[in-house]
Amino acid sequence: MKKRPSMNIGAAILFGIFGLLFFVLMVRFVTIQVTGEAEGKVLASQAAKKYIKSHILEAHRGTIFDGKGEVIAEDTSAYTLVAILDPSITSDPKKPKHVTDPEKTAKVLAKYLDMKESDIYDRLNKKGPYQVEFGAAGRDLSHQMMLDIKEEDIPGVTFRKEAKRFYPNGSFASHLIGFAQKKTDDEGDSTTVGKMGVEASFNDVLKGKDGSVSYKSDVWGYLLPNSDEHVTPPEDGDDLYLTIDKKIQTFLEEAMNEVQKKYKPKKMFAIVSDPKTGKILAMSQRPTFHPDTREGLLDNWTNIIVEDTYEPGSTMKSFSLAAAVNEGKFNPNETYESGKYYVENVPNPIRDHNGGEGWGTITFLEGVQRSSNVAFANLLDKIGFKKYENYLHDFGFGEATDVGLPNEASGSILYHYPIEKYTTIFGQGTTVTPLQMIQAESAIANDGKMMKPYVISKIVDPNTKKVIKETKPEVSGSPITKETAIKTREYLETTVTSEHGTGQKFAIEGYRVGGKSGSGQIPDPSNGRYMVGKENYLFSFMGMAPIDDPQLIVYVGVQQPELEPTEIGSDPVSAVFNPVMQNSLKYLNIKPQEKVSLKKQSLPETRDMSVEEAKKELEKAGVTPVVVGNGSQVVKQLPQGGNATLEGERVVIKTDGDITIPDMKGWSVRDVFKVANIAGLKINMVGNGYAFSQNIQPGIKVKKDEPLVVNFKTPEEAAAPKEKEEEQLN
């Protein structure tokens, strides 16, 4: 057949196209061979990425110990569950390395994981991924659980081992220690990072330096025979030794747990320190959290001991007293008129906590024991405004203690106008931190030398055990003399031992305790005014023991506890202070004194004695007799004979005549109950604190079952009602 010309032309065009494509392909091939690059990427490096595996060797994070070497935080092994789904990893069908039966695998894993069997099955039945994990349920598995799952012999299930931060004591100084957790970067590498407390502020010390390992692998990631490994070993982090004593911290945590359950305060904090060195032996707060699970963390991220400021209330009077003694302006036997004190050009007076009625003309020592605001206003006049301001700075207020923890607050000295100066001397207006209070108290407890608080004892190399850095006790100031400190301690002891003392609840059998209680006012965040109500205070006590040579300071603050009608703010505070102080002193082998003047062995029984004879016997025993009735012979006594009692405590005796009751203003709830009980009256208590008024006048005859109404007020409620206090501050 004769070929058409058009067919020859078409064939020529196709030949040309295929020839051109072949030419381009050959040029591309030669170019890649010569340059080793494709699309700007080095092919050798891409191959290396695929066949050369590289892994981070994570450094062992430093262990945190207490002062005696007990572990508080450490790294431990944890496992992440991985299920391989890709069948290509299996080379021998008889020994599969991937999940072959998703349904059976899900059923077995559901026995161990906190995850529904159906959810596990859905993950195992996915098409496409090489492997899958199981979220939080499959992470942080224990070594024992890993072994148990392995014994099930499930194809395709494997584990990835990694370090996990472990806190063996649970909720234990949690805001001080903080926590550390995994952080993953953009390339998928993870490191452990401290997020709070010591874990955060000393992260660079604890974390160490990660190493790495690289090797050539096959397509499945296994090490090729005769392949070299390139290893850069990690450098482990250094160990931290805290000043915390695990035993004392445990005493503190247990006492705070009990108070938290019973009184449900909004906040609570407590510190135990060694005044000789400044070491913090224990510190905790509520709300707290569990550093392993983070349970409770959202309730309060803040370390309130370090970061929060507040008005301390009457605990501030400890330092005001010390300043007056140091200046030679405090004469314990000098008298003043209690009740009210007028500041020039301020219409509303400073009042004592019984509504400004006071206790008449009393000594300054009794004013300290009764926590009289008027006493301290008079002392400020004796000291002078400028000198007292100098003492505030000398005691470290207005400046951070530099304890080495994150976000430490410095507080604020409110000392501009005269009224602010007077309120500051008894603990209102000026704000502080618990650490500042502990630091200042050490000057009184440590013979005038104020010790800087610290929580890190030393930093140690974990491999050589060499001490890299050690904290030495540091004197942060000497605001008062040794003689002043001794005298101040003696005066503070009387707040616990005196019949007038506001610190009677903090007496501890066998030990001489001295200190000062307080009821700090709380600003209402909604309007900036002080909150009102019997529970809306920060109740606190800061005390030391033994008073002649203090070995411990314990400072406890309880904010807005839920109190019973018969309870006062000192009840939840003493429920922490007393057991912690007593147990810690015994633990430190500080033996109780054989005879302490605070207690009497036995109370005499005065029933059937004449009133005059009974009063003499009771006074001889060191207690204060209170007569109910106008008869001549005693028919009943409270407390009964034979009971141990506080020196100076009120003992109520009932006579055989008509029943009358005494003036009970300023009395404690306990003493008022004694009178109501022995007189057979139906008591109705209103408010909280100390007796402020009573419906039955002293000396008036009463009948059995007659109602007795007694109004109680806390010192702050009586001294400064909200509106009047605001007017003064303006």
For residue 227, the number of C-alpha atoms closer than 13 Å in the C-beta half-sphere is: 17
- Report which secondary-structure segment, H or E, holds 439: helix 434-445
Listed in order, strand segments (DSSP E) in 85-227 are 131-133, 157-166, 180-184, 190-194, 211-216
- HSE (side-chain half, CA atoms, 13 Å) at 50: 7
105 Cβ neighbours under 8 A, 6+ residues apart: 83, 99, 120, 124, 154, 155, 156, 157
Identify the active-site residue in 171, 273, 314, 372.
314
Assess contact for 514 and 544: CB atoms under 8 A: yes
Q: Which of 283, 385, 375, 275 is nearest to 335 (CA)?
A: 375
Instruction: Tell me the C-alpha distance between 106 and 138, whole Å.
Output: 13
CB 261 within 8 A of CB 286: no
Q: Of all helices (H) and strands (E), which one includes residue 144?
A: helix 143-151
Query: Residue 693: enclosing H or E segment and its boundaries?
Result: strand 690-694
User: What is the rounded distance in angstroms from the CA atom of residue 288 to the CA atom of residue 277?
Assistant: 27
Q: How many CA atoms lie within 13 A of 685 on its CB side?
A: 22
**Please, which residues have CB within 8 angstroms of residue 168's CB and are 6 or more apart in sequence?**
71, 72, 74
Is 314 assigned a catalytic role? yes
Q: Which long-range contacts (CB under 8 A, 24 or more apart) does 90-97 make?
A: 96/155, 96/156, 97/155, 97/156
What phi and psi values does residue 330 have, to the nearest 5 degrees? -110, 110
Q: Which two tokens stand for residue 247?
A: 């035993």
For 514-583, the three-class secondary structure string (H helix, E strand, C coil) is EEEEEEEECECCCCCCECCCCCCEEEEEEEEECCCCCCEEEEEEEECCCCCCCCCCHHHHHHHHHHHHHH
**Which residues are identified as catalytic?**
314
